[in-house]
Structures are given as C-alpha cells and as structure tokens.
Amino acid sequence: MKQGWEIKKLGEVCDFQNGFAFQSKTYKESGLPILRITNIQNDEIDTKELVYFETKDYKVNLDRFKVYQGDLLIAMSGATTGKLGINNSETVFYLNQRVGKFIPKKEILKPYLYFYLSTKVEESLRIAAGAAQPNLSTEQINNFEIPLPSLPEQQRIVAILDEAFAAIAKAKANAEQNLKNAKELFGSYLQGVFEKKGKDWEEKALGEIADVEYGYTDKSTGEGDYRYVRITDIDKNGELILEDKKYIKYSKEAEGFLIQDNDLLMARTGATFAKVLLYKNYEPSVFASYLIRIKFFEKIENELYWHFTKTKYYWEQANSLSSGAAQPHFNGAAVKQVIFSYPKSVEEQKKVIEKFRTLSTEIKKLEIIYLKKLNDIEDLKKAVLQKAFSGELKASIALV
C-alpha cells in the first residue's frame, strides 16, 4: 500500500440506503418509476421493464428512496448480485427492496468509489453465493475494505482511469465489431452462392426431392441404450448440444428412428424452430417427436442443404410458412414447400461444400483472434484497476 493511504471500512466513508418493499399488487403502468434488480444492467439503468406506483397507495414518506441523476446503485440479490448501476438520466426513480444506493461522505469521491466497487463485483457474488438465492447484506457491503488516498490523489486516479477506460471501451467496441463482421461475412457468402446459383443448378420445392419423417415418442431418463435427441438439444447455430443428455431404452420400434451419420434433423417448434442439425456420428441416438428428419431421394448432399438453412432466403421462407403466433410451428407439410436451389451434379455440390468449409475454417480462426482480444481487454481492465487501488497507477496506461 502506498505511503499516506489509509484502509477503511466502506461503512466509515459511505452511507448506504436499502430499498423500500413496494408491493407488486400496487404496480401500475404509469406513475412514479420503481427501480428493481432487473433494471440494473451493464453499469446502467435499463428501463425496458420498469413498473410504476402511485404515492396514494403508501402512507409513508418515500423521499429517502429516491434515486437521482448520478446516484450509484448495487444489486443485492439474484443472479446479478454485486452488479453496479448508475442513473445517467434525469429521471428520478424509487429504490425497490434488494437494491442499494451508496451515499459517499466528504472524504471520498463518487467516481473513485465506483471504480473501487467495480473491482468487488466478483467478490460480492462469491460472498453472496451458497444459498438458493444469492444475497448480499448491508453489513457485508459496509465491511468491504477500501484503500483511501487524499482527495487530490483520488482525483488524479479517476482522471487516469477515465482516460484509460475510454480507450479500453473503444478497443472493445472495435473487437466486437470485427467479431460481428467475421460472422456476417460467412452468412453473406452463403446467401450470395444460393442467390446467384449457376448455369447447371436446379430449383425445386423440398417435397419434390425429399421425404420428411417425424420422430419417436418415449419417456426419457438419465440412462439408457440410446441418446434421445430433442429440440432442446439443438442450439441457435444448428449444432448439437453435448450437455444435459437424455436417454431411452432399446425397443424394436425405437430402432426405426435411429439417427444415421449426416442425417438432417429439423426442430419444428420452440425457440429453435426451423433450425436444422447435421448429425455427425456422435453416439447411438434416436430423434424425438418434435424433430423432423429430412431424407433426400434425389442425389443431394445433406451438408449442402444444412448450409442453405443458414441463409436469409431460407429463413424468409421458414417464417412465412410457419404457423402459430406465440409459438411458431414448422410441420412436414410446410417444410415440403421450401424452395431449394442446388447444383445438379453431385461433384459440383461437393465443390461448393468444400468452399463453405474452407471459408468457415478461416472465419473461425478470426473469431478466436477477436475473442482472445476481448478476453485480453477484460484482463487489462482488471490489471489497471488493481494498480489503481494499490497505489501503482502511473500518469498514463499503455493499451495493447
């Protein structure tokens, strides 16, 4: 610790205000806004799920629960325990229970307090863990130890951190944009190939070239002879989820639904409706009833159709042909209406697939680079903060 600095309990340099227990039955669609745990997101106040109240519903003075512009808040329960939020708007909110507000005293600057608290988020979650519902108490918060330099030194540290974090935020935004661009490049290339087609390409409805087959219904367990592949086992990228497996026991009937290597399985409802899995030879598996197996009876490579299902053109058709507002359904009859373009020659299909594989490999390499960059940026933030509160922060920070 740097000479001249003190170590104090947070409760010595900062008052803490707990929220009020607003009753959900009094929530309104308009009125005075209540700030709940769910509204604390990414160091800001998310107003998407605000609820409101009217003062006539309560016989107490709620002024001390007001949240003004610039106030610093913390989530004290749930999955976001320890997360911070700042009211950057001019809106005056009212603190709900399990949300706390920091009120710094004269010897500590609010921005300095914020930077310090941002180093304690993970520790707060560890402290709060252990129960069914993570919970951080006022006593635990007040007992946090904070290194406290003089006010001028706090101002110097805040100025350096502001500059460093602005540069870090810019670097992070650039890396995130590069990652997004890399992912979009593959989609754009796929779309272009299926849009432009070639001179020896066919364009047919799926029902003209493929049969569809619904899956098997059985009661799944944690153990059995076959993995039971369900719609919840297909992720948003059309890949098989390898965790949380379910199994079924052998039966003669189940054998008819065994998945073969390179089978195409499509989710016909739920969050992943119309997503298509190209099944690789993972383990002996049977597909469940809310999946459809697509079986080409013409000479078409399954992998080509799998790539096609990642295009904008496919999804425009899937959304247009699906039924059900709240929960879309994409049944066998609808699937058969999908228009699919493909090269007549199997050799040409394989060439197109190879191009897709090559580009996909290169893009995955780029994604690894950008994801590493994002991880490095997060590590840099932690390192900068560690230096700041150990008294080692220099006049400038070298960003990599």
| 10 three-class SS | helix
Average pLDDT over residues 35-41: 92
Residue 258 in any domain: the answer is yes
Average pLDDT over residues 162-168: 91
Residue 359 in any domain: the answer is no
- What's the confidence (pLDDT) of residue 309? 95
- What's the confidence (pLDDT) of residue 396? 60
Residue 70 in any domain: the answer is yes
What confidence tens digit (pLDDT) does each residue in 237-283 have? 888 998 889 999 999 999 999 999 999 999 998 888 899 999 987 88
One domain, residues 144 and 220: no
Domain boundary among 301, 322, 344: 344
If one counts the domains in the chain, the total is 2
| DSSP structure class, residue 217 | -
One domain, residues 140 and 209: no
One domain, residues 127 and 205: no
Which of 98-112, 115-129, 342-356, 380-394 is predicted least confidently? 115-129
Query: Is residue 132 pLDDT above 90, yes or no?
Result: no
One domain, residues 112 and 212: no
**What is the average pLDDT score of the chain?**
90
What confidence tens digit (pLDDT) does each residue in 295-326 have? 999 999 999 999 999 999 999 999 999 876 56
- What's the confidence (pLDDT) of residue 3? 77
Query: Is residue 206 pLDDT above 90, yes or no?
Result: yes
Query: Is residue 377 pLDDT above 80, yes or no?
Result: yes
Residue 195 in any domain: the answer is no
Which of 124-138, 187-201, 227-241 is predicted least confidently? 124-138
Residue 144 in any domain: the answer is yes
Average pLDDT over residues 105-123: 88
Domain boundary among 298, 327, 344: 344
CA dihedral 188, 189, 192, 197 (to 10 degrees): -150
For residues 94 and 33, is the Cβ–Cβ distance under 8 A? yes
- What's the confidence (pLDDT) of residue 271? 82
Q: Quick one: tokens of 389?
A: 């509160």
Residues 190, 195, 196, 201: is their CA dihedral positive or negative? positive
Residue 157 in any domain: the answer is no
Q: Residue 274 belongs to what domain range?
A: 201-344
- Residues 390 and 386: their CA atoms lie apart, in Å, by 6
Query: Is residue 16 pLDDT above 90, yes or no?
Result: yes
For residues 336 and 207, is the Cβ–Cβ distance under 8 A? yes
One domain, residues 59 and 132: yes
Share of residues in the chain with pLDDT > 90 (%): 70
One domain, residues 138 and 267: no
One domain, residues 11 and 126: yes
- What's the confidence (pLDDT) of residue 201? 94
One domain, residues 305 and 213: yes
- What's the confidence (pLDDT) of residue 397? 56
One domain, residues 209 and 273: yes
One domain, residues 11 and 89: yes
Q: What are phi and psi of 267, to 5 degrees?
A: -75, 125
Residue 371 in any domain: the answer is no
Residue 173 in any domain: the answer is no
One domain, residues 217 and 131: no
Q: Quick one: tokens of 70?
A: 């610039």
Query: Is residue 1 pLDDT above 80, yes or no?
Result: no
One domain, residues 12 and 137: yes
CATH of the domain at 208: 3.90.220.20
- What's the confidence (pLDDT) of residue 392? 84
- What's the confidence (pLDDT) of residue 57? 94
Query: Is residue 193 pLDDT above 90, yes or no?
Result: yes
- 391 conformational bin, left if phi > 0, alpha if psi -120 to 50, beta if neither: left
- What's the confidence (pLDDT) of residue 216? 94
Domain boundary among 115, 148, 181: 148
CA-nearest of 187, 184, 179 to 307 is 187
Query: Is residue 337 pLDDT above 80, yes or no?
Result: yes
